[in-house]
Chain A
């Protein structure tokens, strides 16, 4: 039985003074109307939740290491009695960790401050903190202990570092949103995945990849294409190295999102590869009326009998029988990714765990599976012989659920959608975006294709939707979402209020194009002048609505008004478009309301022939480059 946050939990929060204000806000919003949540700013800081994102067993199996995303810690637990041995503070928003081959060091990436913490596992202390690339995520050391490989989500690469000093040797091009790394059992290769799709032509199926890195030469030697996949997460390899498996999303964004039946919006899949399989095969995790929404973590039993997959939205662990899966794959050489009845042939069971299960790890004997439940601060311990949760480890932290936390739980769960198929986080991966364009039913079939936008910094940028028809977040996330996305259960007012509080709390991540101290480079400075100019290069005044700085004014880069910037397409409904915020604009390709501009450059080189989207056609290529350099700092 899947457990969900109960309202009594919210009410009980009032016993804690810091949470009292939160509860009062939530109640006030509930009693008036959830719509007013959009005007409310949560005055409470979220309490010190742990938010376990990843778990690892020490090589000798005696300790359980838990990466706690919100409390910025690595917690070390006794792997038998689960007592806390040590809490080790690391950098801000840790995301990935792994041991050195001999287990003497634990490497932790800190995604918000771009650092890597090196923990001495004997002393259980951070012995070094290295500055690394942008939004470091997965990390792996080579067998020789010479090189460290770090996946950088923002710069879309895998950095190669000196394992002793942290000095960067080079960066290897990976997929967009490079995030997770897995070392082959023989130490010869790394398999790297990425959470956003690689650029592809407009309104074609998303393309992703598994990037294969040769450890000896530290070069990319192959890229396994993942067609129609957008959102690729953890990879696991069998002990004999013959079977690899990766968790991925298979969006249906090329057809109008008009129903959820039979995986109408997403399929939740694994891609299986390696010598046991031959050519990589994408296999569905879903059943016809039950979904494994937001697959994230994968593990393969030491004897290769089982694959375990966490699904963050469905709050389950799916257990797959490997021999049966391989037999099914070989019996269906043409593939079966669209066949949701297929999973019955290889899925053994689905085990309910905590909220938003993410990383998982299995003991050497294969009997215990540990699952990090990110949004209820627990670790589920599954006895793999019975496929039952044998224990639930409660991590230290608030025992009650704040409004903000409840909002985050609501954001990630898929329970509200028809048959539990999707949640907000399907399209807003890790509360960001998905790099895709979608066609939604309410605007008409095939009409008004829209680019999915970043959520960070969305607070106070209403109206919402590209057409500006939703006046506030509760409208955007309430009735509209319930009707056209969930097509099932409605939020109650309190839940909607909490969801709104969570979305409003999403601050932009640090901008990596800004220099320390927020000084501008000469090119950025020149670009800023172009952004703010009121006269074109021929000395003619530029009308206010045709200046960059007019429509994209203010700290978030939007004056929140609607304009015609000449980008309407044949299948767009008439009307104006809202000037979007510029928050971290460098990260969020594609661009324009319909995602037709694949790069920032194309906004002006392709889609602004009449200077309706700002006066830009008088600019030289150098100047356009300068303007873009400035925009990247927003």
Chain B
């Protein structure tokens, strides 16, 4: 290795650490003009128009029904009317943190602060660490795959086999999990991913029954020594596995993993409005939505769009960032209910957004 090459490498490393050097996104192509990104007119729901609480932790769309997990019950929007399920109806706890749909049966699974609830045809059955094999009552994440309900809890992950009723627990005793504070789960017939707070991403291969683990190569530091070397951070808040692509969100950036290469997203080198990400939801191998503490972001594989209220004056804003990094403001009249975004789901071309101050219905506008 020549002396000049070594110096070049050190310079690159220094620039990366300083945030002044970025690699181009793998699928990026420079758009000759502002990219066409989806635009929405946001209609917001709060306690003023039927929501039981403005703190909306999760949202789930099932056909023409919309479920909102709030701090004060599980709200269902149907036929332009809100109905709220509470502990009086059998809900495990009033604070609903996560939601999942069993597409085969239409049953909805709700992770709460005190157990897991199954909502089926209006009946609610709740599972707790006392009355069932659930590993812990604080249920941060839930995902349904076939006959299995996969759960992320404050004391490990677990799986309920709906056919046999058997609970299987996953923790530091039978997986590579170091911490057991499991924050998210994404289950598919081939792979199951757990996002673990402080312990990276765990991967379960459904065929082999083997576990793998992905960690931040830089350990628990907030520093990124080499870009795209691996998972962006150990504190993983959300995982989404779609089209053989893993999307992972952390409080310090996001990652995309195709089984061979990692690509990381930070505010300094992407259109992310914040590195503090509550949820990521992949649409396919290229496109994903990011729910951050500073707005909602959409990535189409090359370009970014951010939907929020301006951090300066609070007015609704939409910004586009093309693959070359050029940022273009778009005039809009509405924005999601709050910039602290916790979740998103989709109703055809519309989006539903859970925020800290209400639920937003983003109605797709023709351009």
A residues sitting closer than 8 Å to B (CB atoms) are 155, 169-173, 198-199, 209, 211-212, 217, 219-223, 513, 523, 586, 598-599, 601-602, 605-606, 620-622, 624-625, 628-629, 632
B6 in contact (CB, < 8 A): no
- Of residues 89 through 141 on chain B, the ones whose CB sits less than 8 Å from some CB of chain A are 104-107, 118, 120-123, 125, 129-133, 135
Q: Are B122 and A223 in contact (CB under 8 A)?
A: yes
A-B contact pairs, 25 of them (CB 8 A): A155-B163, A170-B104, A172-B105, A172-B120, A173-B105, A173-B118, A173-B123, A198-B123, A199-B125, A211-B121, A220-B106, A220-B107, A221-B121, A222-B122, A223-B121, A223-B123, A599-B131, A601-B132, A601-B133, A605-B131, A621-B133, A621-B169, A622-B174, A624-B133, A625-B166
- Of residues 30 through 61 on chain B, the ones whose CB sits less than 8 Å from some CB of chain A are none
B334 in contact (CB, < 8 A): no
Q: Are A599 and B132 in contact (CB under 8 A)?
A: yes
Partner of B169, one of A169, A220, A622: A622
Residues on A with C-beta less than 8 A from B167 are: 625
Q: Which of A171, A173, A602 has the most CB of B within 10 A?
A: A173
Q: Report the separation of the CA atoms of residues A605 and B155 in the bound assembly, to the nearest whole angstrom.
A: 16
CB distance from A168 to the nearest CB of B (A): 10
Contacts known (A220-B120, A621-B135); A173 close to B168, Cβ less than 8 A: no
CB distance from B20 to the nearest CB of A (A): 49
Q: Report the separation of the CA atoms of residues A198 and B124 in the bound assembly, to the nearest whole angstrom.
A: 11
The chain A residue sitting closest to B134, CB to CB, is: A621
Q: How large is the interface on B (under 10, 10 to 19, 20 to 34, 35 or more residues)?
A: 20 to 34
Of all A-B residue pairs in the complex, the 10 with the closest CB atoms, nearest first, are: A220-B121, A219-B106, A625-B133, A605-B130, A170-B104, A622-B169, A173-B120, A223-B121, A599-B131, A223-B123
B164 in contact (CB, < 8 A): yes
Partner of B168, one of A221, A523, A628: A523
Residues on B with C-beta less than 8 A from A606 are: 130
Residues on B with C-beta less than 8 A from A219 are: 105-106, 121
Q: Which of B107, B125, B163, B166 has the most CB of A within 10 A?
A: B166
Contacts known (A171-B162, A171-B163, A598-B131); A217 close to B106, Cβ less than 8 A: yes
Q: Report the separation of the CA atoms of residues A435 and B118 in the bound assembly, to the nearest whole angstrom.
A: 22
Q: Report the separation of the CA atoms of residues A580 and B214 in the bound assembly, to the nearest whole angstrom.
A: 49
Binary contact track B165-192/A, C-beta < 8 Å → 1, others 0:
1111101011000000000000000000
Residues on A with C-beta less than 8 A from B106 are: 217, 219-221
Partner of B123, one of A209, A602, A629: A209
Q: Report the separation of the CA atoms of residues A233 and B262 in the bound assembly, to the nearest whole angstrom.
A: 58
Residues on A with C-beta less than 8 A from B135 are: 621
Q: Are A602 and B131 in contact (CB under 8 A)?
A: yes
CB distance from B129 to the nearest CB of A (A): 7
Q: Which of B106, B129, B155 has the most CB of A within 10 A?
A: B106
Q: Report the separation of the CA atoms of residues A202 and B132 in the bound assembly, to the nearest whole angstrom.
A: 16
The chain A residue sitting closest to B146, CB to CB, is: A170
Q: Report the separation of the CA atoms of residues A601 and B135 in the bound assembly, to the nearest whole angstrom.
A: 12
The chain B residue sitting closest to A155, CB to CB, is: B163
Residues on B with C-beta less than 8 A from A622 are: 169, 171, 173-174
B residues sitting closer than 8 Å to A (CB atoms) are 104-107, 118, 120-123, 125, 129-133, 135, 147, 155, 162-169, 171, 173-174
Q: Are A628 and B129 in contact (CB under 8 A)?
A: no
Residues on B with C-beta less than 8 A from A169 are: 104
Residues on A with C-beta less than 8 A from B155 are: 621
Q: Report the separation of the CA atoms of residues A155 and B105 in the bound assembly, to the nearest whole angstrom.
A: 16
Q: Are B105 and A602 in contact (CB under 8 A)?
A: no
Q: Report the separation of the CA atoms of residues A601 and B168 in the bound assembly, to the nearest whole angstrom.
A: 14
The chain A residue sitting closest to B130, CB to CB, is: A605
CB distance from A530 to the nearest CB of B (A): 14
Q: Report the separation of the CA atoms of residues A223 and B174 in the bound assembly, to the nearest whole angstrom.
A: 40
Partner of B129, one of A223, A523, A621, A632: A621
CB distance from B22 to the nearest CB of A (A): 45
Residues on B with C-beta less than 8 A from A220 are: 105-107, 120-121
Residues on B with C-beta less than 8 A from A598 are: 131
Residues on B with C-beta less than 8 A from A209 are: 123
Residues on A with C-beta less than 8 A from B173 are: 620, 622
Q: Are A601 and B131 in contact (CB under 8 A)?
A: yes
CB distance from B344 to the nearest CB of A (A): 24
New contact pairs (6) apart from A223-B122, A621-B169, A625-B167, CB-CB < 8 Å: A172-B120, A199-B125, A212-B121, A599-B132, A601-B132, A621-B129
Q: Report the separation of the CA atoms of residues A170 and B105 in the bound assembly, to the nearest whole angstrom.
A: 7
CB distance from A625 to the nearest CB of B (A): 4
Residues on A with C-beta less than 8 A from B147 are: 171
Q: Report the separation of the CA atoms of residues A165 and B262 in the bound assembly, to the nearest whole angstrom.
A: 45
The chain A residue sitting closest to B166, CB to CB, is: A629
Q: Report the separation of the CA atoms of residues A491 and B29 in the bound assembly, to the nearest whole angstrom.
A: 91
Q: Report the separation of the CA atoms of residues A523 and B169 in the bound assembly, to the nearest whole angstrom.
A: 11
Q: Are B164 and A513 in contact (CB under 8 A)?
A: yes
Q: Report the separation of the CA atoms of residues A513 and B161 in the bound assembly, to the nearest whole angstrom.
A: 13
CB distance from A198 to the nearest CB of B (A): 8
Residues on A with C-beta less than 8 A from B130 are: 601-602, 605-606
Q: Report the separation of the CA atoms of residues A605 and B128 in the bound assembly, to the nearest whole angstrom.
A: 11
Q: Are A523 and B121 in contact (CB under 8 A)?
A: no
Q: Report the separation of the CA atoms of residues A606 and B129 in the bound assembly, to the nearest whole angstrom.
A: 10
Q: Report the separation of the CA atoms of residues A173 and B122 in the bound assembly, to the nearest whole angstrom.
A: 11
Residues on A with C-beta less than 8 A from B104 are: 169-170
Residues on A with C-beta less than 8 A from B162 are: 171
Q: Which of A198, A599, A621 has the most CB of B within 10 A?
A: A621
Q: Report the separation of the CA atoms of residues A387 and B125 in the bound assembly, to the nearest whole angstrom.
A: 45
Q: Report the separation of the CA atoms of residues A416 and B107 in the bound assembly, to the nearest whole angstrom.
A: 46
CB distance from B242 to the nearest CB of A (A): 22
Q: Report the separation of the CA atoms of residues A513 and B165 in the bound assembly, to the nearest whole angstrom.
A: 10
Q: Report the separation of the CA atoms of residues A20 and B166 in the bound assembly, to the nearest whole angstrom.
A: 48
Q: Report the separation of the CA atoms of residues A217 and B106 in the bound assembly, to the nearest whole angstrom.
A: 9
Residues on A with C-beta less than 8 A from B169 are: 621-622, 625
CB distance from A295 to the nearest CB of B (A): 24
CB distance from A190 to the nearest CB of B (A): 12
The chain A residue sitting closest to B155, CB to CB, is: A621
Q: Report the separation of the CA atoms of residues A601 and B166 in the bound assembly, to the nearest whole angstrom.
A: 12
The chain B residue sitting closest to A598, CB to CB, is: B131
The chain B residue sitting closest to A213, CB to CB, is: B121
Q: Report the separation of the CA atoms of residues A513 and B104 in the bound assembly, to the nearest whole angstrom.
A: 24
CB distance from B274 to the nearest CB of A (A): 36
The chain B residue sitting closest to A602, CB to CB, is: B131
Residues on A with C-beta less than 8 A from B118 are: 173
Q: Report the separation of the CA atoms of residues A219 and B125 in the bound assembly, to the nearest whole angstrom.
A: 17
The chain A residue sitting closest to B123, CB to CB, is: A223
CB distance from A621 to the nearest CB of B (A): 6
Q: Report the separation of the CA atoms of residues A65 and B181 in the bound assembly, to the nearest whole angstrom.
A: 59
CB distance from A220 to the nearest CB of B (A): 4
CB distance from A551 to the nearest CB of B (A): 23
Residues on B with C-beta less than 8 A from A212 are: 121
Q: Report the separation of the CA atoms of residues A632 and B161 in the bound assembly, to the nearest whole angstrom.
A: 14
Residues on B with C-beta less than 8 A from A155 are: 163
CB distance from A472 to the nearest CB of B (A): 35
Residues on A with C-beta less than 8 A from B120 are: 172-173, 220, 223
The chain B residue sitting closest to A169, CB to CB, is: B104
Residues on B with C-beta less than 8 A from A211 are: 121
Q: Report the separation of the CA atoms of residues A217 and B64 in the bound assembly, to the nearest whole angstrom.
A: 14
